[in-house]
Amino acid sequence: MEYVYAAMLLHAAEKDIDEKTVSAILKAAGVKADDARVKALVASLDGVDIADAMTQAVAAPAAAAPAAAAGSSDAPAPVEEEEEEEEAGGFDGLGSLFG
């Protein structure tokens, strides 16, 4: 995640996201940068509109939350009610077994 955070920091600072700057951010944070991972990150971000990607990433979970909440209201009633009825109808608890 540190690699992605470095890229996001550079984007927020309106700096170029290249191997040199990502490595410098990681080094400043005390992370030993893996050159292959830095190179892969920079290559994967080439041509990506980071601001648009961040907006979509933030909006997706927020849109899914109301749908999940609506689905949970259709859950069946708890089983506890049935158990209470069985206990009341058969005997008066454990005391009736001994008395």
pLDDT tens-digit map of 9-57: 999 999 999 999 999 999 999 999 999 999 999 999 999 888 888 888 7
The token duo for 41 is 């990150």
**Residue with the larger pLDDT of the pair 99 and 68:** 68
Q: Is residue 60 assigned to a domain? A: no
Residues 6+ apart with CB under 8 A from 49: none
Amino acid, res. 27: K
- CB atoms near residue 7 (< 10 Å): 21
Does residue 78 lie in a domain region? no
pLDDT digits (tens, 9 = 90+) for 69-93: 665 555 555 555 555 555 555 555 6
Structurally, how many domains does the chain consist of?
A: 1
Q: What is the pLDDT of residue 88?
A: 53
* Cβ contact 38:22 at 8 Å: yes
Here the CATH number for the domain that contains residue 20 is: 1.10.10.1410
Distance of CA 21 to the CA centre of its chain: 28
Higher pLDDT, 61 or 52: 52
